[in-house]
Amino acid sequence: MIGELGSFALMLALGLALLLGTLPLAGAWRGRQEWIVLARPAAWTLSFFVTLSFGLLLSAFAQNDFSIRYVAAHSNSMLPLYYRLAGAWGGHEGSLLLWIQVLALWLAAVAYGSRRLPEEMASRVLAVMGLIALGFLAFILFTSNPFERLLPAARDGGDLNPLLQDFGMIIHPPLLYMGYVGFSVAFSFAVAALLGGRLDAAWARWSRPWTLAAWGFLTLGIFMGSFWAYYELGWGGWWFWDAVENASFMPWLVGTALLHSLAVTEKRGAFRGWTVLLAILAFSLSLLGTFLVRSGVLSSVHAFASDPQRGLFILGFLAVVIGGALVLYTWRAPVLEGGGGFSMWSRETLLLLNNVLLLAATAAVLLGTLYPLLLDALGMGKISVGPPYFDAVFAPLMLPVLALLAVGPFVAWKRAAVRDLPASLRYAAQAALLAALAAYFGNGLGLLAATGLALGLWIALASGLHLWRRLGEGGSWRLRLLRQPASYWGMLAAHAGLAVFVAGVVLVKSGESHVDASLRVGASARAGELEYRFVALDRHDGPNYVAVRGTFEVWRGVRRIAVLQPEKRYYPVQQSPMTEAAIDRGWTRDLYLSLGEPAANGGWQVRIQHKPFVAWIWSGVLAIALGGFLAAFDRHYRVRRAALEHIPQLVSLEGASA
Amino acid sequence: MTRPQKRLLLLAVSLLALGGACALVLSAFQKNMVFFYSPAQVAAGDAPQHRSFRIGGMVQKGSVQRDADGLSVQFIVTDLASTIPVRYKGILPDLFREGKGVVAQGRLENGRFIAEEVLAKHDENYMPPEAARALADARGGAR
């Protein structure tokens, strides 16, 4: 029953998406109020049916319903319940349904959050989201229905890939999709505004919190993927410049540019056309990411489908979305003219530089990701472009971004003077420079690492300074502390988080080391000043795997500082071995131990890694995401909605934050 | 500053950034592009001598030999037409096995491939596309 009900709910959702995607738009076009008001109820109902079908899929997994082909392929009765549920998005069909489910969530959120928007605008936004839902629902129903029956039913399932049997699997895909799909809201706002011919400060103000929230989720999603890869893949890397990672990173870069450009559009009415383009681009790259990951053109743990029909569908959909949006953009280009002027040295200019550099970085990542695929598709040979390329390209492009980022908040909109910068900022710059020199000559850090460290310090100092000055502007500082808007704290958190992140990245890169050894129980290996003693090896089976577990004591001199228990697992259903690394985490270093294979001499291969300051990477990224959410929930996006209609082009600078 | 001047400046800045990025990207590309060769191509002498590249194929059954140090390993990669001996020091990925597909990156030294990296795969039945292609090509050539 579940399978048929699920399919049926999806078909109903498809019909509703068709309704939602057409009637309100036609109504807004022809001035038919009765069609316009259909948008919100249609959006609610669509969300309901999608959620229903998703719930049915989850329950099929929970009940081990192996008469459904997809469940039989991605689950197993031995699998613990939470992994069975996560297995719902462990394959192509289910992850596609998750995509649609997340879209339904955003759709419901927009239907709820847009109640006080002008009816016409709100219904257009919902309708555009409906069109996106239509595309994906058609895709899932015609090419990849997760509810397809398997006759006769399988006795047991084929199991979830052991790599995916992890807590990360439960939250990484939903978070990432919340980000990807969240950009569809910014996209829909942009398209709706283009359709209505109204792109003004009010439009920017409406779409800003949605974009911030989506960006925050995307940050968390990428973080979770990276964090997971770090401990699960067993090799201690945290970012591989893998095509799939790049696919999620490109929308993030463009989304970052979009956030900053939206700030200019809201505060100053400038960059309007540019902001619209970025909104289109951010969502297009999200779709491209979906295409790259799901079409099977990439070989990785993420690639499920190798059915060319599916890839073709997403590619076609991508072409329609990007092409349609761009045609609309060209048609409406005249209304995009104008906006407040600004001088050479102003916050606008700095934000423009931020945008240009971020987009250049995106283009470089895009080239490195797509060029090998393109060459291969054209039969012109196989190449791969590894991390060295991305490192070489990315770092130089980001250095000026980081350097300017610290200055940005100090520079006024429209017109400023370099001499207006506070003198204390100069001291911060000098301190950062001194630190770089000390790190380079004193500690023998590499040039790039020293520069990165200095830039991190520079941003941290400048952010602190900015807060200090802002709190010192007369009156009680306590009162001022409470009166700072959430968006200001958001900006500070994100910028400071970036500083911590950059410091972490350069310290890991320049300070990490590893030792490979072959050890018998009772033997020990030295890594730096630490001694690793292999004290025991025992069986340690889990619910659906067998494993051996090594116990290692880490000694510094006469003190035991950690006990590490890496495992080597074997999952009988899929007949695959898995390395489960053991990590002793700390603020200044991670000790990372993984087991290789049993060696010929009766010992085990062991990889010992010392990774300094990895925790800084994680905490920095979390602070960046927190910044996005803080800013998204700023009160000024919610209060005075009624007055939004009449925002003057020049709003006051109070509470201004880029 | 007048409007046209400002636009010109913005345009110049953008172009400069773009030009710089292009130069950067192209030079980095040149330096870091890694080509792929099948064992047959390596046997024919097509592979570069002093540059890192990738090979792919199948690990020949019974060819894996481990050294006494417990870390170094030698094996033969075959596309069923030609073979190439590979040496690697380090821990192999979980799914490295005889009779399965493999991709390795490294350079040639005296007719032997010294691997710097042996690529991990994520799925038991999964064959790296490069390796699959090399095998298919060799089969096609043999026919």
* A149-181 pLDDT tens trace: 988 888 888 888 887 888 888 999 999 999 999
Q: What is the pLDDT of residue A652?
A: 37
Model confidence at A459: pLDDT above 90: yes
Q: In chain A, what residues touch B34 (CB-CB under 8 Å)?
A: 383-386
Confidence of residue A434 (pLDDT cuts 50, 70, 90): very high
> For B32-90, how does the pLDDT look when each residue is reduced to its tens digit (9 = 90+)?
888 888 888 888 888 888 888 988 888 888 899 888 777 889 999 988 888 999 999 88
Output phi, psi for B73, to 5 deg. Answer: -145, 145
Whether residue B69 and residue A518 make contact (CB cut-off 8 A), yes or no, is: yes
Alpha-carbon distance values, B75 to A272, A327, B50, B102, B123 (Å): 60, 56, 22, 11, 21
Instruction: Give A388's contacts (C-beta < 8 A, 6+ positions apart).
Output: B28, B31, B32
Which of A133, A139, A146 lies closest to A316, judged by CA?
Answer: A139
Distance from CA of B23 to the nearest CA of A (A): 10
Looking at residues A595-604, what average pLDDT do you find?
A: 82
To which residue do tokens 């079409």 refer? A295
Both structure tokens of A344 = 């050479």
3-state secondary structure of A589: strand
Looking at residues A498-516, what average pLDDT do you find?
A: 93
Q: Choose the closest CB to A601 out of B32, B68, B129.
A: B68
For residues A563 and A206, give the distance between their C-alpha atoms in angstroms, rounded to a whole number.
52
Higher pLDDT, A414 or A562: A562
Model confidence at A32: pLDDT above 80: yes
DSSP assignment of A180-225 equals HHHHHHHHHHHHHHHHHT--SHHHHHHHHHHHHHHHHHHHHHHHHH
Q: What is the pLDDT of residue B16?
A: 83
Confidence of residue A642 (pLDDT cuts 50, 70, 90): very low
Instruction: Give A119's contacts (C-beta < 8 A, 6+ positions apart).
Output: A33, A36, A37
Q: What is the pLDDT of residue A648?
A: 42
Mutate to test the interface with A, among B10, B24, B30, B32 (most CBs of A within 10 A): B32
Q: State the ipTM, two decimals.
A: 0.79
Confidence of residue A341 (pLDDT cuts 50, 70, 90): confident
Looking at residues A367-385, what average pLDDT do you find?
A: 81
Model confidence at B125: pLDDT above 60: no
Whether residue A599 and residue B70 make contact (CB cut-off 8 A), yes or no, is: yes
Model confidence at A47: pLDDT above 90: yes
Model confidence at A466: pLDDT above 70: yes
For residues A272 and A333, give the distance between their C-alpha atoms in angstroms, rounded to a whole number.
10
Buried b / exposed e across A317-346, counting CB within 10 Å, b at 16+?
A: bbeebbeebeebbeebeebbeebbebeebb
Q: In chain A, what residues touch B36 (CB-CB under 8 Å)?
A: 381-384
Confidence of residue A479 (pLDDT cuts 50, 70, 90): confident
Whether residue A577 and residue B13 make contact (CB cut-off 8 A), yes or no, is: no
Both structure tokens of B68 = 């006494």
Q: What is the pLDDT of residue A474?
A: 66
Tell me which chain B residue has its CA closest to the CA of residue A361.
Answer: B21
Q: Among A44-53, A75-84, A590-599, B11-20, name the one with the lowest average pLDDT.
A: B11-20
Strand partners, B114: B87, B107
Q: Choose the closest CB to A518 out of B1, B32, B71.
A: B71
To which residue do tokens 């999709």 refer? A177
Which of A131, A56, A148, A40 lies closest to A93, judged by CA?
Answer: A148
Answer whether A162 touches B (CB < 8 Å).
no
Mutate to test the interface with B, among A371, A518, A570, A579 (most CBs of B within 10 A): A518
Kindly report the average pLDDT of chain B as a whole number: 79
Range of A195-204, A299-308, A485-494, B9-18 with top mean pLDDT? A485-494
Q: What is the pLDDT of residue B129?
A: 56
Restricting to A residues 465-524, those with a Cβ less than 8 Å away from any Cβ of B are: 516-518
Kindly report the average pLDDT of chain A as a whole number: 88
Looking at residues A129-146, what average pLDDT do you find?
A: 93
Mutate to test the interface with B, among A371, A597, A604 (most CBs of B within 10 A): A597
Restricting to A residues 176-235, those with a Cβ less than 8 Å away from any Cβ of B are: 233-235
Both structure tokens of A337 = 């003219």
Both structure tokens of A36 = 């316009």
Tell me which chain A residue has its CA closest to the CA of residue B126.
Answer: A299
> For A397-408, how does the pLDDT look when each residue is reduced to its tens digit (9 = 90+)?
899 999 999 998
Instruction: Give A419's contacts (C-beta < 8 A, 6+ positions apart).
Output: none
For residues A65 and A72, give the distance between their C-alpha atoms in angstroms, rounded to a whole number.
7
Q: What is the pLDDT of residue A200?
A: 82
Confidence of residue A483 (pLDDT cuts 50, 70, 90): confident
Burial class (CB in 10 A: 0-12, 13-18, 19+), B98: middle
For residues A317 and A51, give the distance between their C-alpha atoms in angstroms, rounded to a whole number.
23
Q: What is the pLDDT of residue A416?
A: 74
